[in-house]
Amino acid sequence: MKSFDAIVIGGGQAGPFLAARMVEKGMKVALIERKFLGGTCVNAGCMPTKTLVASARAAYVARNSAVYGVNIPGEIAIDMKVVRARAETVTMNARNGLIGWFAGMDGMTVIYGHARFEDPKTVSVNGETLTAPRIFLNVGARPVIPDLPGINDIDYLTSTSIIHLDTLPRHLAVIGGSYIGLEFAQMYRRFGAEVSVIEHGPKLASREDEDISDAIADVLRSEGIDIHTGVSDIAFARSSDGITVATDSARIDASHVLIATGRKPNTDDLGLDAAGVITDKHGYITVDDTLATNVEGIWALGDCNGHGAFTHTSYNDFEIAAANLLDGADRKLSSRILAYALYIDPPLGRVGMTEKQARASGRKIMISTRPMSRVGRANERGETKGFMKVIADAETKKILGAAILGIEGDEVIHGIIDAMNAGTTYPALQWSVPIHPTVSELIPTVLGDLKPV
């Protein structure tokens, strides 16, 4: 049996950085990864997909360049092999950077293999047994495949496999109208494929307020994406030239099907029962406000704990654990203000409560909206789709939440994120003097238009 000061299972965006901090403190750490360092973000999520989004935007801008007085003769052609290779290069550079970083650390042992608990202090991997007083789980999540008629008879894609396509689908059917599905839908439409989105719920991006969801649908429809919501029945069958997707309202002749119906934690094959670690009904590991599980000496970080399915929330889990365990701090998960983005174009930046959540909280609230068509920078760039929306507490004057669907919305939202984390009241922000011409300069204006509801 090999002994360590700590064992980290999973090489995503929390565990490896915590492992590095512990090594800096002179600890002996084993990092176990069953496949690739970097987790979903580096290998099948943020980095490759946003690289693909950038290629798709380049194609979109080229096709629409005449609006700006730039004439490109001939048809805009897409070389999917180059598109794929570019995304793969970004992934490999990041992954190899992590490999090289860890290789140069004395005290760090990287093991590739499938780890399972033998007891609360012991795990086995590749026929070896390792023990440590502290074990950190950072095992991530994977796509959920729903049990739909005919699904096992077709060759479907997931968010992991679609990034390796080096040919352009004739017609891509996206099953699921949430964040991952919508990004791929717009991306492949811009590459030149016909695209249909099929969503069981009544609206796209169901987490958002109805006005945001409607605006997202308008953006996608304006680019020729076929959207079906409120679909109760879906079935698949092979056809002579692809896949038939039959719903209760339509019949779609697709060449490719992307299943984007959610994700589930990679916790079902870790031997958690042997360690006594509790999970909820969905398989997420139950943690307290410090990310500790019900078993002393075991923590769960990142997607597998169900408290955020984003790279930045996973990294924040690392920050919380490192601060508490290594720096004597008292940081809590409950202090985190959730923020995220949807990377369609224009993007959606979101932070805090939705209007629906704020109304349900019983607070007296104020709301302000402003269309992007009334933002100078958006007009100058010729990108006026979407709108800004801010919700505030009428009594405390604190900002409760915001949504910015529009040009640079994923960046502009950080002004609101910073204010909320600092506890700044909205009247104080109204006196800031932002730079012109920017999208962010309209934040004080939007705040000045807050009205009670």
Q: Kindly report, residue by residue over 89-117, the tens digit of the pLDDT.
A: 999 999 999 999 999 999 999 999 999 99
Torsion angles phi and psi, residue 228, rounded to 5:
-125, 115
Mean pLDDT of 195-223: 98
Q: How confident is the model at residue 249 (pLDDT cuts 50, 70, 90)?
A: confident
- E strand intervals along 4-77: 6-9, 29-33
**What pLDDT does residue 165 have?**
97
Residue type, 163: I
Q: Would residue 436 show up in a list of annotated catalytic residues for this protein? A: yes
Q: How confident is the model at residue 79 (pLDDT cuts 50, 70, 90)?
A: very high
Domains and CATH numbers, the chain: 2-142+264-335 (3.50.50.60), 151-261 (3.50.50.60), 339-452 (3.30.390.30)
Of the residues 164, 171, 307, 436, which is catalytic?
Answer: 436
Q: How confident is the model at residue 207 (pLDDT cuts 50, 70, 90)?
A: very high
pLDDT digits (tens, 9 = 90+) for 258-275: 999 999 999 999 999 999
Task: State what percent of residues in the chain have pLDDT above 70.
Answer: 100
**What pLDDT does residue 266 have?**
97
| Residue 375 reports pLDDT greater than 90 | yes
**What pLDDT does residue 229 have?**
97
Count the Cβ atoms, other than its own, within 10 Å of residue 150: 15
Say if residues 320 and 291 touch (Cβ distance below 8 Å): yes
Mean pLDDT of 302-323: 96
Instruction: Show Cβ contacts of residue 2 under 8 Å, excluding neighbours closer than 6 positions.
Output: 30, 128, 129, 130, 131
| Residue 409 reports pLDDT greater than 90 | yes
Alpha-carbon gap, residue 153 to 189, rounded angstroms: 26
Closest CA to 368 of 413, 418, 402: 402
For the residues of 100-133, what is the DSSP string, one character each?
HHHHT-TTEEEEES--EEEETTEEEETTEEEE-S
pTM to 2 decimal places: 0.96
Mean pLDDT of 193-218: 98
Alpha-carbon gap, residue 379 to 389, rounded angstroms: 18
